[in-house]
Amino acid sequence: MLWRCLTISNRELQVNEQIHDRQVRLIGSDGSQLGLMSSVQALQKAMEMNLDLVKIAPQANPPVCKIIDYGKFRFEQAKREKAARKNQHTVEIKEIRLSLNIDIHDFNTKLGHAEKFLKSGDKVKVSIRFRGREMGHPEQGREIMNRFAAALSEIANMEKSPKLEGRNMLMFLASKPVK
């Protein structure tokens, strides 16, 4: 059985005995500069304070280490990452289906739904399904699609113009970037 665990951070930090650099720049728990010293001396200072020595900038020359409570640091880092994920908005594609002989009221209702979707930041896929003899009049479908796009031109850009694919005509709209 495989166990999966939640990755708190994608960047593993070196802690305490994992630090083998000859010389490090040390920062205290209060953020003050404690100067350059060997990693053994830095670890000794961290042990005196009952805290951990963490290498926070390994690419610097010399590497920068900080004296902090590593458990508390990881917890706060996980909290920040969780808050960042919570604030992300995934763009969904919502579909609006029109028909070749749509009435004006139905058209306006679909227009209102599309406007609501676009204002919430989602993309809209507008489709018309041609049935039977309707296949002989794709220009009417294109006209309805263009009318739909023109009505939403204030808040939306046409991402993909109307195109006939089999029995369906598809068009994609995306909301205009906020200025």
pLDDT for residue 2: 44
Question: How many angstroms separate the CA atoms of 20 and 38, rounded?
Answer: 9
Q: Quickly count: other Cβ atoms within 10 Å of residue 112's Cβ.
A: 10
pLDDT for residue 127: 93
The DSSP string of 61-116 is SSPEEEEE-HHHHHHHHHHHHHHHHHT--PPPEEEEEE-TT--HHHHHHHHHHHHH
Give me the average pLDDT of each 10-residue run along the chain (179 residues).
Answer: 44 77 85 84 86 85 87 87 80 88 91 91 90 87 91 89 89 83
pLDDT for residue 7: 43
